[in-house]
Structure 1
Amino acid sequence: MINSDSFVDTLTQDSQTLQKVEPMCGTKTLKIILLGPSLLQQGGISNYEKLFLEYAPSEVHICHIITHEEGAIAIKIMVFLKAVWKFLWILLREEVDIVQLEISQRGSVLRQAIMALLAWVFHKPIILHAHGSQFHVFYAELPKWIQQLLTWVFSKCQRLIVLSESWRSFYIENLGLKPEQVVVFYNPVKIPAEVPHRSVSKKVNLLFLGRIGQRKGAFDLIEAFSLLPTEHKSISSLIMAGDGDIEQARNLVTTLNLEDYIKLPGWIGSHERDILLTEGDVFVLPSYNEGLPLAMLEAMAWELPVIVTPVGGIPEIVTQSENGLIVNPGNIQQLSDAIKSLIENEALRLSLGEKARKSVFALDIKNHWVSFLDLYRSMLNLDA
């Protein structure tokens, strides 16, 4: 667990040995407060935090303060109040170089806005790291005066990190941020050293990883699978792992008589996820909204061809028929046709998968940390 009361070297959730980046001689130890959800929480931000903390270089000491935890309203309030107290205690007692806030939408925005204001009062440099896949929808629905207040809070950060160029344009155009304030850091991925040989697959295993629900296109995927010819169903399977509207998905599977082909194991841990990625042949994520999905990047790192939609930062990573297939959100027939093409064409599967893996090498978590160190030092006017 991460000690939230003092700056410590961070550990992974399962206590595995960290892979540290060797410190540069004479470099200053950087003390960072990282505010975000619990590492035990399910979701993209928590997965990002775990990877970020696991590979933190030894010249960076990170204090991770939990601002949100799943549970009853009373539990959420208590967790946040405890986070405020810890944050204030550290600000008052210890030297802090930078405050980094992982932010999404809705309640996350309110919580992190309060923390950002506290950091601003104490004159600490602020990084907001925006992950929200539906922030544009959330922002558009806010009353004008709240939009203006939120714009003011965002303006107090020294840097806003976004997941793609399209999100960068959104924040600059809608929140009035200066272009130099907003930087693009694509989500990172841990690149496995070896991947399995999939040319001997007797059955094509389709894989979906993410929250089961309409936003991720989970129900569209089930319906698209039902449209496959019988001969294609008989040589394929679909595993949909994740939390969310699992019962609704299971009911749809039953209604369409797909129990022999589609499995919904619920939320899985990192070890089980890696097993599925090893055994998978095709990754499918037909989302309606995204930031830049970590699950997609992980699948590509495991050399899986991906079938995705052109939303969020996905089009900046996936090119049609080069390292994946792109379908329109909600177009079930188009999604089914794309799945069918990869079931029947092994050469295409292998070619797309090989190129997918190569295309995410630059997003390796170690490169991500190099970029973060440069950002930290530039904000503090330190020499590299």
Structure 2
Amino acid sequence: MRVLIAGPSLHAISGVSTHVNLLLAAPWPDVSDDALTLTHFQVGSEGRNEGPAARVARLLLSPWQLAACLVARRIDILHLNTSLDPKPYWRDAAYLGVARLLGRRVVLQIHGGRLPHELFAGRPWSAGLLRRVLRAADTVVALGQQEWRALRDFAPQARVELIPHAVAAVPAEAMAARSMAASELQLLFLGRLDAAKGLYELLDAVDLLVRGGRQMRLVIAGDGPEEAGLRSRIADLKLQPRVELAGARFGVDKQTLLSQAHVFVLPSYSEGLPYALLEAMAAGVAPVVSSVGAVPDVVGYGEHGLLVAPRNIGQLVYALARLHDDRGLLARLGAAARARIAERYGLERFARSFARVYRQAGRPSRRRGDKPTIGPTASDPRV
């Protein structure tokens, strides 16, 4: 079975890029009796250095390029990775149409964005088209409980599966550099430097905490459009050397940062299921994260980490101060976070679920009205 995975550049700094890389490297022979061949088709602007004219040309040509790729490589299934935001949705709806015209099966995976009833609120024609798009996919994959329920309610005839992301286990010795007794609390942000990640609120929170006498250091690892703005805010708040913009980190460099961090901070305005969160938890780093998207499926408040409301500096200050002052709680949350990932978000379980989805998509079309299903990696609805 030949699967074409559409997604951003494999070298882009994004959760979807991480996801595509994991799929390409998954242990398929260990989990599937089917012979699976996965290849990548690059979509979107991430990882490209192009001007306006080149971007317009790419947008016009890409459906034709996709069609040529599907035919030349004799692809059976197109796996689209989209989000319910206008630009990626319309692009991927066009790709889905191309695949359907060529008789290919489609797996449509939703990586966050708005809930389906929110995307085209007050626009019944567009909402109706979204329902048709969801029904046209052989399988729709959601990352979290809230998204899964919303998709099922919005398009009852669609087959909706729930498959959370996954990460590799981190050996215990890789965390040896972390000392809970250190007076200075080490905070870490990993991700794209974008205002929607809550980075300016995070800087304001750190400023308030430092001025209140608490010892902490924040490392911001990543790159993106807000780098210059963040440097300016750090200078205005006189936060050097308490805050460091460390640039994008990968591989061993990223693991080194995780091994030294006490707290992973991600106060985003919206998310799907951030890979950076799973990586941090797998490394035993206590998370302080916004309660958005599928994050509450993974992080139980006070059990595996602390949750805050988006854009709420007061809650962010309180959560970070609590972990600074209570190192016993910090250690318990870090250990529970690591155990949570090991139990529920392993790579083999992830690969087994997608092998099943591909196998289902390759079968003759289901009857209309068949019930949506939850995959075996579904998070516990009680969480």
Offset of residue 354 of structure 1? 0.5
Unaligned runs of 5+ in 2: 30-34, 365-383
Aligned pairs for 1:49-60 within 5 A: 49-55=20-26, 57-58=28-29, 59-60=35-36
Which residue matches 1:101? Answer: 80
How many angstroms apart in 1 are the aligned matches of 2:309 and 2:76? 44
- Map 1:191-230 to 2 at 5 A: 191-194=169-172, 195-197=174-176, 198-199=178-179, 202=182, 203-230=184-211
Please name the residue that 1:124 is paired with: 104
Partner SS for 1:39: coil
Tell me the distance in 2 between the aligned counterparts of 1:80 and 1:201.
53
Aligned to 1:110: 90
Deviation at 1:135, TM superposition (A): 5.7
**Preserved contact between residue 24 and residue 39 of structure 2 (Cα < 8 Å):** no
1:91–1:254 Cα change, 3 Å: closer
Letter of the 1:371 counterpart: S
1:209 to partner: Cα distance = 1.3
Preserved contact between residue 56 and residue 369 of structure 1 (Cα < 8 Å): yes
* Structure 2 residue identity aligned to 1:343: H
1:73 CA drift (Å): 3.0
1:320 maps to which residue?
301
Return the alpha-carbon distance in structure 2 between the equivalents of residues 134 and 344 of structure 1.
36
- Output the CA distance in 2 between the equivalents of 1:55 and 1:206: 31
Say whether the 8 Å CA contact 1:134–1:290 is kept in structure 2.
no
- Superposed CA deviations along residues 147-200 of structure 1, whole A, max 9, x for unmatched, are 3223222220011101111011222333x242x611111111122223313336
RMSD: 2.3
Distance 1:339 1:101, change over 3 A: same
1:218-297 mapped onto 2 (5 Å cutoff):
218-230=199-211, 232-233=213-214, 235-242=215-222, 243-297=224-278
Match of 1:167 in 2: 147
User: Aligned-pair distance for 1:201?
Assistant: 5.3
Letter in 2 for 1:140: F
Cα distance between partner residues in 1 of 2:123 and 2:106: 26
Which of 23, 34, 59 pairs up with 2:5? 34
Q: Secondary structure at the match of 2:333?
A: helix
Q: Partner of 1:67 in structure 2?
A: 43
Separation of aligned partners in 2, 1:156 and 1:270? 38
Distance 1:182 1:117 in 2: 19
How many residues get paired?
A: 350
Cα deviation for residue 76 of structure 1 reads 3.0
Q: Which amino acid aligns with 2:161?
A: V
Structure-1-length-normalised TM-score:
0.84
Q: 1:34 to 1:152 in 2, by over 3 A?
A: same
What is the one-letter code of the residue matched to 2:16?
I
User: Within 1, Cα distance between the matches of 2:301 and 2:275?
Assistant: 19
Where relative contact order (Cα < 8 A, 6+ residues apart) is larger, the structure is: 2
CA contact (8 A) 1:310 1:326 kept: yes
Pair 1:367-2:344 in alignment: no
User: 3-state SS of the aligned residue for 1:306?
Assistant: strand
Could you report, residue by residue, the CA deviation over 1:43-94 in whole angstroms, capped at 9, with x for unpaired residues? 1111211122122525321121112233323333444555434432243345
Aligned match for 1:76, one of 35, 40, 55: 55
Q: How far off its partner does 1:215 sit?
A: 1.9
Find the aligned partners of 2:318 and 2:180 in 1 and give their Cα distance: 23
Paired amino acid for 2:87: G
Counterpart of 1:89, as a letter, is A
What is the deviation of 1:136?
5.3
1:335 aligns with 2:319: no
The CA deviation at 1:124 is: 1.7
Compared with structure 1, are the counterparts of its residues 228 and 124 closer, same or farther at alpha carbon in structure 2 (3 Å cutoff)? same
How far apart are residue 121 of structure 1 and its match?
Answer: 1.2
Task: Output the amino acid matched with 2:81.
Answer: E
Given the superposition, is the C-alpha separation of residues 132 and 334 from structure 1 closer, same or farther in structure 2, using an over 3 Å criterion? closer
Question: How far apart in 1 are the matches of 2:160 and 2:249?
Answer: 34
**1:75–1:43 Cα change, 3 Å:** farther
Aligned pair in 2 of structure 1 residues 137, 159: CA closer, same or farther (>3 Å)? closer
